[in-house]
Chains A and B, each alone.
Chain A
């Protein structure tokens, strides 16, 4: 397949709300997650983590720990074998955190691994870890960028060197100074943790010194394989990474983290398979988080509400070694028709592990600032929030001056407003009472980029009418197994029950991980490319087969749809792939192909290095279009002015995402996105003690994610949208889109209810009460 042009092939099961193919396995427990896999001889690893946030280890006494039954070894920085390279030296795969603990006596963050016990049972290893006596020489840690000891600096590059820390378009400061309407506000975002249901887990199995299999809870097996190969100094082919099921990741399993390599090194040293599962508490200091941050946005507008300038700055905490921060500016740059824009990032080092992408990184907090300020300006000018967004509608992407590949945002607004009953909204804040509570209505725009990606797949069609389709992709629990089964079924003209789709193994053809919402589009395209390879082969067989109606036809005159080959000029003349294959006597036929996704592949200037390299680089060579999904959220809240509680009572999300592969799983994803966003908006907050630089609520009783009682009936719809440029099936990513704009929609609804603007997430009752004490 040469380009990623969308082919409008007819569909049979694609798009249908098909039940999950992995549903029965999941509800019966037959689906085994990485931590549930055991191989003969498996022993258990347990980490001991640092109690201090900064300083050095002065001694480690393992005497009592070693007396626990069945201890195989207790590793510390003194005896753990060193990897061939440290993550810092591994350029290509870029472990999220360049610092690897347990290499020396230094402690740089609370919860950093300081020892790893390996024992015959989990219980013994756990207790031994508790009995290890570590003494430290502690120093005063730096807690965050708010810490008086912290120093903000200009990182020049953010996101591990991928993006500039300053972006300027036009003449933003001048335009702001001259604007009729000037609005300036600062927004605060608490630390958030991904908190997937399934904790991170590694089972490392060595066969001899040079063959390794790792069962990992990974959003990207290729990435884990590559990182391990580099860290261990081994060829990739000697390392196999397997992830069959994931219980949520939200970004925290899409990067390489210390526990994986520590487990692998320990397994080699004890010469046994070692399984290590992070505890819930360790999940807060083991796999990254969304950093605490503050954004100041200056918004300049004309008197009729047209944006003239956005001047954005962000301050955030980063680790002692890395310059990671979400690029909040991206969405401010492209969402509206604004001629002048700039963003600047400033970071401060603190004793915290490196933060990492978390569902809609950048877009989620960035949109909170943008969409809240825009709501303020709308209110100030007496313009309806929906109307001000239409006045600023971007008919092309202002950030790069390119046309959109497709954009259905206006339809989303219209349909969302209709479903919600937006026209009945009372524009005047604080007017809508229902008993003791104040009711408010708010809305916000959602958008998420189509990150470029590519991957490969293999399709094997069997003459008996079934097929095995393989791609080393991931199913985060969102439905990859199911939608790829549907895509394969239509590609081959088979019922979905006849397809076995395999993923999550580096032995399979390389596919991108699940992250940045690229999986569906890329893997579907790869499967179609591989299916085309099968078609080509079978067409060749057919035209050479006397018994085929296509005998002697030119392959170029033959088209394949839903598993049937036919003459383009005479569609009645043709037969199924299986008919030809059946007569051939060949038991099966295999095809493989590479699928491409996004603007990076619009022109033929893409690299051939596989989907696993960092996406953003490739976007620099992007083609003629700007590619994004868009949507609109509408929300109703009830605010109790006495108690400060906020309840979401209605939610409508309407999105344009190109081709919907499965209406059911897609709706679930967008519903989940809204719920995730409601969590960030109203309750998710990891507290740190400022003096100890250590979390004080690191469990799921203390770190609140929404429960059913918090979530109203959420209505999700998709507007029909055909994107001709994006990829084979015209699929845009949907995973992250659903969360973007959610916090702002909630905040805007609270403003409408109370006349108070909430600029600090999460919007908890204490903050609401505080705001209500201030004059409106």
Chain B
């Protein structure tokens, strides 16, 4: 880890202008992603701007839905009654993530911006297009067991966001509030926040250099209320998903009125599946309908040598999650 200077920002403006003025600076919240990557020399920052003092707190119901301050901790949000009752998928995605210690440390904003667990990205001995554009992607011919099968490119096949929360947020149409150095706020639907790797896998989100995540707002819907997050992995806890599904259904009179479907662990970004949703809406819930939706969701999959299993696993995960919320 390189030497760096450290400042603590009391006001958002202080943080965002400091970041604008220093291209090599980084915000630090819980530090659970950032410090790891700095210790590995994957990221090098000469300045860390501590944002933990900023007032981006609070978990409250607003007219647009549940608003969660970006600096709230994963464990606090995951256990919050408003979240547990109205957005079970969000609560589960948080509480099934990482370990208790990490969840106590890690913030919501930081979670949304966590980086890939691709082993090549995390080890500077390897080439990696995401870490050093133009050097190549050894994962394509190498160990790709944990990597993506949807939305990948010839430049990068990583699950750029390897975590859980954003999968639920993407499914439930959450909106991020961002603020820049001019003090201007903008709202970005999380479905538009992440970028596909294309030929620029180093560019992961639409966040500008001087922008902070202020809050996440999740619309309150019937489907959100009847939602769940299912995570599959070989180790029962403290492991990333091999495949996961965040689903929400609104069923009325035996017919699915609204469906929210997103997959984790399989997409180059948290993978919302309008294809699957289309197969569900207007139908009576049944195993066959769920299976058709799952097949639609994985239709464009491009599996590699070691992750071909993810097609079936993701489909089955989705079917299982849908069956459970419909039950």
Contacts and interface: CB of A to CB of B under 8 A. Distances in A.
B138 A643 contact: no
Contact of A691 (B119, B141, B310, B320): B141
A398 interface: no
Contacts of B1: 123, 126-127, 130
Contact of B232 (A694, A698, A765): A765
A173 to B, nearest CB: 37
Contacts of B141: 691
A691 B125 contact: no
A687 B119 contact: yes
Nearest to A436: B320
A762 B235 CA distance: 12
B55 interface: no
Nearest to B235: A704
A644 B119 CA distance: 23
Residue of B143, B145, B310 with most chain A CB atoms under a 10 A cut-off:
B143
Nearest to A111: B125
B189 to A, nearest CB: 30
B5 interface: no
Contacts of A123: 1, 3
A647 B236 contact: yes
Interface string B104-144: 00000000000001011001111000000000001001110
A127 B119 contact: no
A27 interface: no
B296 interface: no
B2 interface: yes
Interface in B279-305: none
A663 B142 CA distance: 48
Interface stretch (B13-21, B83-91, B311-319): B311-319
A701 B232 contact: no
Interface in A613-647: 642-647
B236 A710 contact: yes
Interface residues of B, number: 34
Interface in A315-346: none
Interface in A701-727: 701-702, 704, 706-710
Nearest to A683: B234
B41 interface: yes
A709 B319 CA distance: 25
Interface string B237-258: 1111010000000000000000
A773 B233 CA distance: 19
B312 A769 contact: yes
Contact of A696 (B123, B232, B239): B123
B309 A769 contact: yes
A707 B237 contact: yes
B119 A765 contact: no
Contacts of B120: 689, 696
A766 B313 contact: yes
Interface centre among B1, B239, B319 (most CB of A within 10 A): B239
B304 to A, nearest CB: 13
A706 B235 contact: yes
Given A690-B142, A696-B142, A766-B313, A702 B119 contact: yes
A494 B118 CA distance: 58
B145 A643 contact: no
B313 A644 contact: yes
Nearest to A645: B232
A265 interface: no
Contacts of A690: 142
A51 interface: yes
Contacts of B319: 642
Contacts of A762: 234
A737 interface: no
Given A766-B242, A766-B309, A692 B235 contact: no
A645 B234 contact: yes
A709 B237 contact: yes
Contacts of A773: 312
B117 A701 contact: yes
B92 to A, nearest CB: 15
B234 A704 contact: yes
A710 B237 CA distance: 8
B138 A691 contact: yes
Interface in A738-776: 762, 764-766, 769-770, 773
Contacts of B2: 127, 130
Given A689-B143, A769-B309, A769-B312, A694 B317 contact: no
A: interface residue count bin: 35 or more
A706 B117 CA distance: 19
Contacts of A765: 232-234, 242, 309, 313
A710 to B, nearest CB: 5
Contacts of A281: 123
A335 to B, nearest CB: 29
Nearest to B323: A436
Contacts of B316: 642-643, 769
A536 to B, nearest CB: 56
A751 B206 CA distance: 49
Interface in A122-181: 123, 126-127, 130
A682 B41 contact: no
A110 B126 CA distance: 11
Contacts of B313: 643-644, 765-766, 769
A250 to B, nearest CB: 19
A697 interface: yes
Contacts of A52: 125
A694 B126 CA distance: 9
Contacts of B145: 687, 766
A665 to B, nearest CB: 27
A694 B123 contact: yes
Interface string A227-253: 000000000000000000000000000
Contacts of A691: 138, 141-142
Contacts of B125: 51-52, 110, 692, 694
B235 A702 contact: no
A110 B145 CA distance: 21
A12 B20 CA distance: 73
Contacts of A645: 232-234
Contacts of B310: 766
B142 A689 contact: yes
A696 B142 CA distance: 9
A384 B132 CA distance: 58
A710 B235 CA distance: 7
A691 B117 CA distance: 20
A405 B71 CA distance: 65
A682 B233 CA distance: 11
B95 to A, nearest CB: 12
A640 to B, nearest CB: 8
B263 to A, nearest CB: 14
A648 to B, nearest CB: 10
Interface string B219-238: 00000000000001111111
A708 B320 CA distance: 25
A682 B138 CA distance: 27
Contacts of A692: 125-126, 138, 142
Contacts of A708: 237
B126 to A, nearest CB: 7
A694 B320 CA distance: 37
Shortest 6 CB-CB distances between A and B: which pairs?
A696-B119, A51-B125, A766-B309, A709-B236, A709-B237, A642-B316
Given A126-B1, A643-B313, 18 more contacts: A52-B125, A127-B3, A642-B316, A683-B234, A683-B235, A689-B120, A689-B142, A692-B125, A695-B119, A696-B120, A696-B142, A698-B123, A701-B117, A701-B239, A707-B236, A710-B235, A766-B242, A769-B309
Interface of A: 51-52, 110, 123, 126-127, 130, 281, 436, 642-647, 682-683, 687-692, 694-698, 701-702, 704, 706-710, 762, 764-766, 769-770, 773
15 contacts: A123-B1, A127-B2, A281-B123, A642-B316, A642-B319, A644-B309, A645-B234, A647-B236, A692-B125, A695-B119, A696-B120, A696-B143, A701-B238, A701-B239, A704-B235
